């Protein structure tokens, strides 16, 4: 990578850097910086949703259970269709891999369920990006 881009972040250097990204990398970068600049485009229906990655190779890990363990166990049971004992074990042994091989948007949906239950979770892709 050209260090000149970072030493002198001119508009041309930034455009040169961006032109070297593939479509998916560029979509993910735009999604990450949009909140910082409050940008949107006319006709941008899903302005708050991330771009759907081309693959379904994401995993969701429960990082901490929080104070509402029963609610977290219920989410695990609902997501996995697992029994009470298996769900309880996953909730109590954080960090716990909950599910893998899912789309990014499905991982966001599950992460939202854990957030509502007061738990913490981490979405990771095969390329080691975390969300």
Summarised one tens digit per residue, pLDDT across range 57-67 is 889 999 999 89
CB–CB of 31/51 below 8 Å? yes
pLDDT at 16: 80
Mean pLDDT of all residues belonging to the chain: 79
Eight-class DSSP state of 93: S
Consecutive H or E run containing 99:
strand 96-102
CB–CB of 53/99 below 8 Å? no
Domains identified in the chain and CATH numbers: 4-37 (no CATH), 58-125 (3.30.1390.10)
Consecutive H or E run containing 102:
strand 96-102
Distance CA 98, CA 128 (A): 17
| Residue 42 CB burial class (10 angstroms; 0-12, 13-18, ≥19) | exposed
- pTM of this structure: 0.56
pLDDT at 60: 92
Q: Provide the pLDDT confidence category of residue 72 given band limits of 50, 70 and 90.
A: very high
What's the average model confidence in pLDDT over 49-76? 82
């Amino acid at each position: 990578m050209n260090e000149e881009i970072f030493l002198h972040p001119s508009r041309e250097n930034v455009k040169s850097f961006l032109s070297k990204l593939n479509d998916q990398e560029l979509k993910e970068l735009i999604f990450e910086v949009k909140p910082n600049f409050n940008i949107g485009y006319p006709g941008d229906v899903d302005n708050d949703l991330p771009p759907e990655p081309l693959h379904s190779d994401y995993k969701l890990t429960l990082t901490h259970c929080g104070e509402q363990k029963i609610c977290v166990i219920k989410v695990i049971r609902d997501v996995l269709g697992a029994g009470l004992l298996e769900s309880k074990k996953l909730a109590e042994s954080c960090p716990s891999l909950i599910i893998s091989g899912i789309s990014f948007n499905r991982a966001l949906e599950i992460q939202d369920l854990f957030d509502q239950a007061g738990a913490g979770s981490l979405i990771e892709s095969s390329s080691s990006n975390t969300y």
